[in-house]
Structure 1
Amino acid sequence: MNLSERLLHIANMIPESNCIADIGTDHGYIPIYCIRNNICKRAIACDIKEGPIKVANKNIKSYGLNTKIETRVGPGLKPLKEGEVDTVIIAGMGGNLIVDIINDSIDLAQQINNMVLQPMQHPEVLRKYLVCNGFKIVDEDIVEDSKKFYHIMRAHIGESDKYEKEVYYYTGMKLLEKRHPVLKNYVEFKISQIENIIYNSNKGETSERHNYLIKLRDEFKDVIRCL
């Protein structure tokens, strides 16, 4: 099975597990890949809609993995029972939605050994939620694919200090520590994006939002000097 760059990097972030759950599984590619590559012994593929589950079931059957991958329909973490999985993957949706999914099943989320999370937008929202709500980010990766940036993080219950600067919720502390080779491209992209927003805004604007963007841009510029 040939995974996209994004899915391959997600799979590489998953630790060896007894049972994983893929939330929003879509085609079921992550569970299939993990079973075939001995990353886990069993898997549960979940989706809120019947359609993707039907596609996933077809793919699972084509690889002869019906006895190792179970499919379930339901929202977020709701289809899971306490203690049956040690790793959860929530990928391919916005950072705000991932926050809602974790928050809606917070007791279960706190018991899971590892959560592998990949927001399509607003990684800063997800990082801030994790850090400020009793979770610890233990590893991070970032992928540039087709001119888009995908942040991947692995987290579990644990104490974390709030980040000193707002920009760190965008860049991720682990990515900074690694001096990840893709991070510089991401920071340059964010500087350009923010400067365009500032330029196209009302020149006389002194709103809180405008000042926030100027400060954030300057923090990104400080970061790039360290990469």
Structure 2
Amino acid sequence: MRISPYIYKSSSSSSRWIARQTRDPYVKSRITGDSSTPLYRSRSSFKLLSMASKYPILSRSSTRTVVDLGAAPGGWSQVASHLLKGKTNSKIFALDILGMEPIPGVDIIKGDFLSDQVRKELSYQVGEGNEEEVEVDCVLSDMMAPMTGNRTRDVGLSLDLCAAATVFARDVLKTADGPERREGGKTVWPGGNLVIKFFAHPDMDEFRSLELDPWFGKVVVEKPKESRAESSEAYWVCLGFKGDPQLFQ
């Protein structure tokens, strides 16, 4: 029987993927866990842990309310819950159109995060019944659109997700009440924080310069060591939400 070249190619690709997963230390840590590293649902959990150790995006001293967009299967929500565990009045919300298994310390809201229904539910829970008092300290987005193989289309889909997360964050993030300051030898940016995954492309540079830099005290590009070297993914870490730049020109 003649074996289809397509089947052979697919099988070879699958074998390489399995071999890579077997060697990946972060895949192993996700599966085994230990006393200091919980059993995380996704490999990407370690990327957020890395960024959180470098920047005050999930600081116990300044973070009370966190919203994880497109959260399923829940790895980033788990990290937020782990880092803020025991903090009085901390609230973590996982939003996704997909269902998720419960996560200790996390409230799951199922639906499109841009829909009025989900936004009202989030506002009600964050404001403890008062929808007018909505202030979020950190918005997380590890969302990724299904890859089509068409570079132009894939970049466009990624940009759409970045734009959606940014629009959402602008509506809910806490606005800075003063300039940046030094505490304990480190710079602190008052205001909410935003972390968004993106894929390197010139269009993304333009998006950052127009839609992120003017709105935040500091925006940096991070490619955590936990990201695979061959991947073009990176993250914008946006610190100190200032609000609409047109209001303070």
Q: CA RMSD in A?
A: 3.2
Q: For 1:89-131, what per-residue CA distance to the aligned partner results, in whole angstroms no more than 9, with x for missing partners?
A: 0122323322134236643346461111112464425413334
How far residue 133 of structure 1 moved from its aligned partner, in angstroms, is 4.6
Sort the Cα spacing of 1:6 and 1:125 in 2 relative to 1 into closer, same or farther, 3 A: farther
Contact 2:217 2:241 in 1 (8 A): yes
- Structure 2 counterpart of 1:69, which letter? V
- Structure 2: distance between partners of 1:29 and 1:141: 19
Q: For 1:63-105, what per-residue CA distance to the aligned partner results, in whole angstroms no more than 9, with x for missing partners?
A: xx1xx21011233355332535311101223233221342366
Look up the match of 1:26.
72
SS of the aligned residue for 1:128 comes to: helix
The structure 2 residue matched to 1:9, chosen from 47, 50, 58, is 47
- Structure 2 counterpart of 1:90, which letter? S
Look up the match of 1:45.
94
- Structure 2: distance between partners of 1:59 and 1:104: 24
The structure 1 residue matched to 2:107, chosen from 38, 63, 70, is 70
1:96 counterpart = 2:160: yes
Contact 1:96 1:125 in 2 (8 A): no
Q: For 1:153-176, what per-residue CA distance to the aligned partner results, in whole angstroms no more than 9, with x for missing partners?
A: 2214249x9xxxxxxxxxxxxxxx
1:151 counterpart = 2:215: no
Q: For 1:36-57, what per-residue CA distance to the aligned partner results, in whole angstroms no more than 9, with x for missing partners?
A: 233773310001x2xx22xx2x
Sort the Cα spacing of 1:8 and 1:125 in 2 relative to 1 into closer, same or farther, 3 A: farther
SS of the aligned residue for 1:92 comes to: coil
**TM-score of the two chains, using structure 1 as the length reference:** 0.53
- Structure 2, gaps ≥5 residues long: 1-38, 52-56, 124-132, 145-157, 176-190
Matches within 5 A, 1:79-94: 79=119, 80-81=122-123, 82-93=133-144, 94=158
- Structure 1: distance between partners of 2:167 and 2:138: 17
Task: Report the count of equivalent residues.
Answer: 148
Contact 1:10 1:116 in 2 (8 A): no
How far residue 30 of structure 1 moved from its aligned partner, in angstroms, is 1.0
How far residue 32 of structure 1 moved from its aligned partner, in angstroms, is 1.4
1:134 counterpart = 2:180: no
- Structure 1, gaps ≥5 residues long: 162-227
**TM-score of the two chains, using structure 2 as the length reference:** 0.49
Sort the Cα spacing of 1:103 and 1:23 in 2 relative to 1 into closer, same or farther, 3 A: same
Contact 2:198 2:236 in 1 (8 A): no
How far residue 146 of structure 1 moved from its aligned partner, in angstroms, is 5.8
Structure showing the higher strand proportion among its residues: 1
How far residue 7 of structure 1 moved from its aligned partner, in angstroms, is 3.4
Sort the Cα spacing of 1:137 and 1:126 in 2 relative to 1 into closer, same or farther, 3 A: farther
Matches within 5 A, 1:112-127: 113-120=192-199, 122=201, 123-127=204-208
- Structure 1: distance between partners of 2:214 and 2:79: 31
Structure showing the higher helix proportion among its residues: 1
- Structure 2: distance between partners of 1:117 and 1:133: 16
